[in-house]
Amino acid sequence: MAEAYLALGANLGDPFVALAEARNRLAQSQVVITNASGLYRTPPFGPVEQPAFINQCLRVETTLAPHALLDLCLDIEHQMGRERAERWGPRRIDIDLLAYGERVIADDRLTLPHPGILHRAFVLVPLMDIAPRLTIAGTAIVDALARLDQSGIVQIDTGTSPSRRGNP
């Protein structure tokens, strides 16, 4: 089994339901979720005006190869109604493969580690919950996060019940 890290985000419909559905679909495949970060409300990224996102990171173990794991993530997005109409636009679900063990891949379909990971506080804040000692491309994520603006990122208190939801 290989260890990998995924980032989930959503800002359309009910993001809490979308994240739960994505986690369930992942868990019903060849992916074992070994740790999940808290949920974070984050400002939207990019130039498109849109609602805040709810973000989460997962540490998973899988027998899938990196490209097969990417395909699974894309298939789940598609099954959940993800439309890729606008770069950095709103979405019902987004599942990014951040890292796959120590693998470095750069081809026309997949770049690992994810090229934006060290520059996006909305990814690094939840990733710190589950992998505070993780190093990406020779940089500790704690050091990368210290250089980024974290304003507007708020952990959501979901209480003790997984069905309790806040209003994004």
pLDDT digits (tens, 9 = 90+) for 12-29: 999 999 999 999 999 999
Specify whether 165 is catalytic.
Answer: no
Catalytic residue among 23, 91, 92, 120: 91
Specify whether 94 is catalytic.
Answer: yes
126-154 b/e (C-beta count within 10 Å ≥ 16 → b): bbbbbbeebebeeeebeebbeebeeeebe
Radius of gyration over every alpha carbon of the chain, rounded to an integer in angstroms: 15
In the prediction, which pLDDT does 161 show?
38
pLDDT value at 44 more than 90: no
> Would you place residue 39 in the very low, low, confident or very high pLDDT band (cuts 50, 70, 90)?
very high
Distance of CA 58 to the CA centre of its chain: 7
Cα separations (Å) of 51 from 60, 113, 163, 168? 28, 27, 22, 8
- pTM for the full model? 0.90
Give the percent of the chain with pLDDT over 70: 89
pLDDT value at 84 more than 90: no
Catalytic residue among 23, 82, 92, 120: 82
pLDDT value at 129 more than 50: yes
Inter-residue contact 115 to 97 (CB < 8 Å): no
Average pLDDT over residues 58-87: 90
pLDDT value at 2 more than 60: yes
Give the three-state DSSP class for 146. Answer: helix
Specify whether 108 is catalytic.
Answer: no
pLDDT value at 52 more than 70: yes
> Would you place residue 50 in the very low, low, confident or very high pLDDT band (cuts 50, 70, 90)?
confident
23-37 b/e (C-beta count within 10 Å ≥ 16 → b): bebbeebebeeeebb
Specify whether 82 is catalytic.
Answer: yes
Catalytic residue among 96, 108, 129, 157: 96
* DSSP designation for 123: H
